[in-house]
Amino acid sequence: MSGGRVGGPEGPLAALAADAYVYGYPLVFDLSMVDAFARKGLGTLAPTPFNRFAHAEGLASPASRFVSADNDILCSIAQLDLSDGPLVLQLPDTEGAYYVVQFTDAWSNNFAYLGRRATGTREGSWLIVPPGWAGATPGSVRGVIEAPTTIVSAVGRIACDGGDDVERVRALQARFTLTSLTSPGPGRAGLPTADPEVPQELGFFEQLRVWMADFPPSLPDQSYQERFQPLGLLEEGVSPYQDASPELAKALAEGLAAGRERVEAAAGTGARGGRPPGAWEMDPHLFDYNLDHFGIGTVDAPEWRLADREASYLTRAVAARTALWGTHGYEAVRAHTFHDTDGERLTGERSYTLRFDVPPPVGAFWSLTMYDIPDYYLVENPAGRYAIGDRTPGLVYGSDGSLTLRLQRERPEDPAHAANWLPTPTGFFRPMMRLYTPDSSVLDGGYVLPGIRAADGRTPPPGSP
């Protein structure tokens, strides 16, 4: 991912502020979501204090009104506060069923994984320790997870095979427990807040200044952020933005706009680039910006680390902007498309087929989920089917082992086609493929997802590019 500028700001101070925005956006956005989770909740998850899990009570539906909601899993999220010391996480035996708990630090680095791929599915406890902790490890734990920051997001996902399977998954969720290793202290009353006297237009940089001081990054990143001294981002105590000079205020405003533009351009939502018509957009290496913290379950190998540290900051910002708390590609990959193999936009006014000569090679499972545009919500339909995949009961395969899915608004008349049917909305739509524990051929491009083909032979409606 290129770190090139798009309509760069004027002057060296403004250019430095743009770099600071790209560098600091993941920290500010991540901790803003952590704070919102504790105070307001997230999607269907209720507001939850630190060091307690919030659990999804059922599979996502159109009523969830959550962007790109995952209909394959039930989610469990806990925001961990390690400022008073280590926590013990107890996990149940899932008896071989897929699950993962990923750990993300305040800078949005995925630094550890527990679950079927990483550690197996047997019951056990794990010790999660803050930076620099040197205490004794209880012999009862299976391992130690060393957190890079004192705030950590623990994101759990348990595979759920439809509505009839929810009760089993809910029973597993109830056995996700967090306890303090020692007598718990008062903990945080909340995250450090920005100086309320700072003008709103400088609020991003003030929040970045406060949180950078409280949640320092790795030593190499600390060396990089020293260059932001002229912006006041390393100042302690009274905020330098309370009474910023006109020159600094102007540079920060220009840098904020330019940095935001750089991130949005790199995100490239919906852009096809040089791909063939109808090719799926997939980036298994979107989360490879973690260069310093490789804990349990991570893959510490050159192919999973970006070679250019400075370029990794833009990749990290794009990942936070488009897929916060997403996993490394070796745990799961996601692919989406907006177009068919003729390069036309996918629309519910037409019918389509998606034929797999060979089903996607995965170690866990795969699915295709339907979303509307522009909200990316699940699509309401009379069948109550929002996703289809290798766990969908009753799929009809060809005699050669192939599988052809039917994407259209109305239920197909042919029973075999109806068994393989994923309903679409009336307007434009975006389907998403999810491949959990993908085979290496998915990651290195040896296996290519087939394109979606128009099946009706009709002329595309007005509005298609």
50-65 tens-digit pLDDT: 999 999 999 988 887 7
Whether 32 and 132 share a structural domain: yes
For the segment 300-313, what is each residue's pLDDT rounded down to a tens digit? 999 999 999 999 99
pLDDT of residue 274: 67
Domain edge (last residue) among 325, 352, 386:
325
Residue 463 lies in a domain: no
Whether residue 2 is predicted with pLDDT greater than 50 in this model: the reply is no
Q: How many domains does the chain have?
A: 2
Residue 126 lies in a domain: yes
Check: CB of residue 328 under 8 Å from CB of residue 437. no
Using the structure block, give the residue that is written with the tokens 């009474």. 243
2 versus 176: the higher-pLDDT residue is: 176
Whether 297 and 403 share a structural domain: no
Whether residue 3 is predicted with pLDDT greater than 50 in this model: the reply is no
CA 429 distance to own-chain centroid: 21
pLDDT of residue 464: 39
Domain edge (last residue) among 260, 292, 325:
325
Residue 461 lies in a domain: no
Mapped onto helix, strand or coil, the DSSP state of residue 42 is strand
Whether 14 and 49 share a structural domain: yes
Whether 296 and 439 share a structural domain: no
Question: What is the percent of the chain where pLDDT is above 70?
Answer: 93
CA 10 distance to own-chain centroid: 33
Whether 50 and 186 share a structural domain: yes
Whether 249 and 345 share a structural domain: no
Residue 2 lies in a domain: no
Check: CB of residue 339 under 8 Å from CB of residue 282. no
Residue 261 lies in a domain: yes
pTM of the shown model: 0.91
Cα(159)–Cα(365) distance, integer angstroms: 9
Domain containing 376 — which CATH number?
2.60.120.1600
Whether 313 and 192 share a structural domain: yes
Closest CA to 131 of 218, 28, 189: 218
Whether 35 and 177 share a structural domain: yes
Give whole-number Cα distances, 390 to 63, 334, 356, 443, in Å. Answer: 25, 16, 12, 19
For the segment 352-368, what is each residue's pLDDT rounded down to a tens digit? 999 999 999 999 999 99
Mean pLDDT of the chain, nearest integer: 92
Q: Residue 322 — pLDDT band, cuts 50, 70, 90?
A: confident
Mapped onto helix, strand or coil, the DSSP state of residue 406 is strand
Whether 241 and 157 share a structural domain: yes
User: Can you tell me the mean pLDDT for 76-99?
Assistant: 96
Whether residue 10 is predicted with pLDDT greater than 80 in this model: the reply is no
pLDDT of residue 8: 58
Whether 405 and 437 share a structural domain: yes
Whether residue 175 is predicted with pLDDT greater than 90 in this model: the reply is yes
For the segment 246-295, what is each residue's pLDDT rounded down to a tens digit? 999 999 999 999 999 999 999 874 444 567 899 999 999 999 999 999 99
Q: Residue 350 — pLDDT band, cuts 50, 70, 90?
A: very high
Question: What is the percent of the chain where pLDDT is above 90?
Answer: 85
Q: Is 17 exposed, middle or buried (0-12, 13-18, 19+ CB in 10 A)?
A: buried
Residue 134 lies in a domain: yes
Residue 158 lies in a domain: yes
Cα(101)–Cα(155) distance, integer angstroms: 5
Residue 182 lies in a domain: yes
Domain containing 129 — which CATH number?
2.60.40.1610
DSSP 226-246: GGGGGGTTT--SS-TTTT--H
Cα(433)–Cα(387) distance, integer angstroms: 9
Containing structural domain, residue 402:
337-454
For the segment 119-159, what is each residue's pLDDT rounded down to a tens digit? 999 999 999 999 999 999 999 999 999 999 999 999 999 99
Rg of the chain over all Cα atoms, to the nearest angstrom:
23
List the 362-372 sheet strands across, edge first: 281-282, 332-336, 429-438, 362-372, 387-389
Whether 78 and 14 share a structural domain: yes
DSSP conformational letter for 401: S
Whether 287 and 425 share a structural domain: no
